[in-house]
Amino acid sequence: MIRDLSVGRMRNEDLGADVQLRWVRLALVANRLKRRSGRFDAASILVDDVYVQVFAIYRFGPRCDDPVLDPVETCRAVFREIHERLDDVVAATKAWSSLTKQEILRLRRIKNLLNILAPIMQFIPQEAPEYQALSQWLQIVPRLP
């Protein structure tokens, strides 16, 4: 409930930017508490975290000195959570309709994460390895289920 309230308030442009950013941080704290409880799916909490951070980066701009607003660190976190090499995911997309339900769900989660992450690519320096990696990952999104 706190996460839902926080997300609503962080998007409220009638509030000042500093207040909206406090709601962003509260949404992330609420997600952290959900994760610790063990009662929620870690993958869906990650999607929520990435959504909140991407919104904040896009709305307030990138700040490499702030982990919430750092687009490079957000990309790194997503890549760590994917736990797979790009080549392996590409291979799985070639015959995804023959995969198990669990494997298809895994590919859909990757697609969701990448789609959420895409808008902040413009804030990542082109010389950063994360820029190149995200560019390559985004190329396979249309092939993911």
Query: In this predicted structure, what is the pLDDT of residue 52?
Result: 95
pLDDT per residue over 31-76, tens digit each? 888 888 888 887 788 889 999 999 999 999 999 899 999 999 999 9
What average pLDDT does this structure show over 8-29? 91
Query: In this predicted structure, what is the pLDDT of residue 4?
Result: 80
80 to each of 31, 83, 85, 106, 130, how far by Cα in Å?
Answer: 18, 6, 10, 14, 12
The pLDDT confidence band at residue 1, using thresholds 50, 70 and 90, is confident
Query: In this predicted structure, what is the pLDDT of residue 36?
Result: 86
CA 93 – CA 125 distance, rounded (Å): 29
The pLDDT confidence band at residue 87, using thresholds 50, 70 and 90, is very high
CA 89 – CA 60 distance, rounded (Å): 33
Question: pTM for this one?
Answer: 0.85
Query: In this predicted structure, what is the pLDDT of residue 69?
Result: 96
Higher-scoring residue by pLDDT: 12, 136: 136
Query: In this predicted structure, what is the pLDDT of residue 3?
Result: 78
The one-letter amino acid at 30:
A
What average pLDDT does this structure show over 110-124? 95
Q: Calculate what percentage of the chain has a pLDDT beyond 70.
A: 100
Which distant-in-sequence residues (6+ apart) come within 8 Å of 136 by Cβ?
A: 86
